[in-house]
Structure 1
C-alpha cells in the first residue's frame, strides 16, 4: 500500500482531507474511483517496472483505494494482448485479500461479476481461490482461509455446477461454512448466470444446519424439489411456491 501511495505521489496525486488531489487541480478533490480510473491502468503499463512489480503495485493500489475499478484493470491486463499476468502473483493477490480481516467487497464483486460469470475464466478462478485447497482449509480450520472460503462460496453462484460441486460437498463438513454454502446455493438459483443441478443441490441443502426460519430456505427447497434450475428459466416458479413464514 505504501509503495502505491509513493507511486501516486510521484505523479503529484496525494491524499487530502476530502479524498485525493492532483497537483494540477489542487482545488478539486478527487474520489478514490476517479483516481482508480486515471491511474490503475497506468500502473499495469509502467515500463519502468517489471511485470511482477506492476502486479504487486496494482494490488497495493487496490488496498489503498478500495475501488472495484482497480480489479477491472488487473483483469484487463491479464486477459489483454500483453497478458496473461503471472498466475501465482495474480491469484495470491486475490487469496490474501479474501483472507484479510477487513472489507473485501471490491475483490468479491470482481470474482462474482468478472471471473465467475465468464465461462472462459470461471473454472480457473474458482480453483485458484478455493477449489484447489478446500480440503486443506476444512482440515486446518484456520481463520483466514475459512474467511476466504466463506466469501468465495457466498459469491459462487455463476460458477458451473460441475466445477464447484466437489468444493461444496467438502465445505459441508464444517458447520461454520453452512451459511455461506446456503448463500451460494441461493445465488446459484437466482443469479442470471447461476448454475446448479436441482437434485444434487436439494440433497446438499437438506444437509445444511440452518435455522428453520432462514429467509428463503423453504422456497429454495420447493423450487429445487420441482426440478427448477434457475429463476430466469422459470420466472414464476419462485412466487408460485407456498410462502414460508419469513419469505
Structure 2
C-alpha cells in the first residue's frame, strides 16, 4: 500500500523531497517520486499526517476497507503516531466502527514486521489498551487469540508481535490478558517481554494486575536473580500491592 499511498498524496500535491516531504501544485497527476526543484512548502512527516490522514476517511471514492488500507500505507510512509490517532478517531467516531478485520490485520502485520513498530505499539498502549471500552478486544485481536499458536509454531514474526504487545500491555485489565500471560510464561523466548509487561502492569498509571497471580507468573519466569527490578517487583507483589501510583512508597522502600 505504500506506493498507493504515495500516489494518493501526490494527487493532492504532497510528494517526497529528499528525506522529507514537499507541497507542490496539485493537478491530480503529480509524480510521487519526482525531484522537487521549487516546492511551495517543505513539510515534516508529522505535518503530512496532521494535514492529510483524516482526508483518507473522507475520500468517498474508496470503500471503508480501502480507506483503512490506505491509512496504514500512509503509516508505512510517515512512521508517525498521529496516523494511528486518526485511525482510532474514525473507528470510535460517529461514522465508525471501521472494518475490524482490516483494522486489526493492519496492526498485526506491522507488529510482526522487522521494521520498528513504535507508532502502533504506542497507540495500543496509550489509546486502545488504556480505554476500558476497547482494551480487551484490542488485546485479543493483536495477541490473545493467536498466542497459543506459538506453542506449536514459534515463527519469528509471531514472536516479534508477541514481544511488542506484551511489553506495552500494562493497562489491559488482568482478566483479559491472564490467559495470554500464562502461555507466554511457558515460552522461554517470551519471558523477558513478559517480565517487562509485568513491570508495566505495576508501574503504568492505568496498569492492572492481580498481585498473587502475577507473583506466581514471576516465579515461573526463572529469571537470573540479578535481573534489574526483579527483587523489587517480587517484594511489592508479595506485599499485595497492585500499582505503584496507589502505593508509591512501597517501591521506593525496595530501592533504599
| Shared fold per TM-score greater than 0.5 | yes
Q: For the structure 1 residues 242 and 114, does the alpha-carbon distance in structure 2 shift closer, same or farther, using more than 3 Å as the test?
A: closer
2:24 touches 2:41 (CA, 8 Å); kept in 1?
A: no
1:36 touches 1:65 (CA, 8 Å); kept in 2?
A: yes
Measure, in 2, the Cα distance between the counterparts of 1:157 and 1:12. 41
Measure, in 1, the Cα distance between the counterparts of 2:152 and 2:168. 22
Alignment RMSD: 1.2
3-state SS of 1:26 partner = coil
Q: Which runs of 5+ in 1 are unaligned?
A: none
Measure, in 2, the Cα distance between the counterparts of 1:52 and 1:109. 23
2:68 touches 2:103 (CA, 8 Å); kept in 1?
A: yes
Show the counterpart of 1:226. 239
Show the counterpart of 1:105. 118
Measure, in 2, the Cα distance between the counterparts of 1:100 and 1:44. 25
2:201 touches 2:207 (CA, 8 Å); kept in 1?
A: yes
Matches within 5 A, 1:104-123: 104-123=117-136
3-state SS of 1:236 partner = helix
Q: CA deviation at 1:209?
A: 2.8
Measure, in 1, the Cα distance between the counterparts of 2:206 and 2:190. 23
1:138 touches 1:171 (CA, 8 Å); kept in 2?
A: no
1:175 touches 1:209 (CA, 8 Å); kept in 2?
A: no
Q: CA deviation at 1:139?
A: 2.0
Measure, in 2, the Cα distance between the counterparts of 1:194 and 1:60. 31
1:117 touches 1:193 (CA, 8 Å); kept in 2?
A: yes
2:151 touches 2:187 (CA, 8 Å); kept in 1?
A: yes
3-state SS of 1:141 partner = coil
Measure, in 2, the Cα distance between the counterparts of 1:53 and 1:190. 38
Show the counterpart of 2:12. 11
For normalisation by structure 1, the TM-score amounts to: 0.96
Show the counterpart of 1:60. 73
2:167 touches 2:193 (CA, 8 Å); kept in 1?
A: yes
Show the counterpart of 1:134. 147
Q: CA deviation at 1:17?
A: 1.5
Stretches (4+) displaced over 4 A: none
Measure, in 2, the Cα distance between the counterparts of 1:209 and 1:139. 22
Show the counterpart of 1:147. 160
**Deviation digits for residues 96-125 of structure 1 (CA, Å, limit 9, x no counterpart):** 000001100000000000000000000000
For normalisation by structure 2, the TM-score amounts to: 0.92
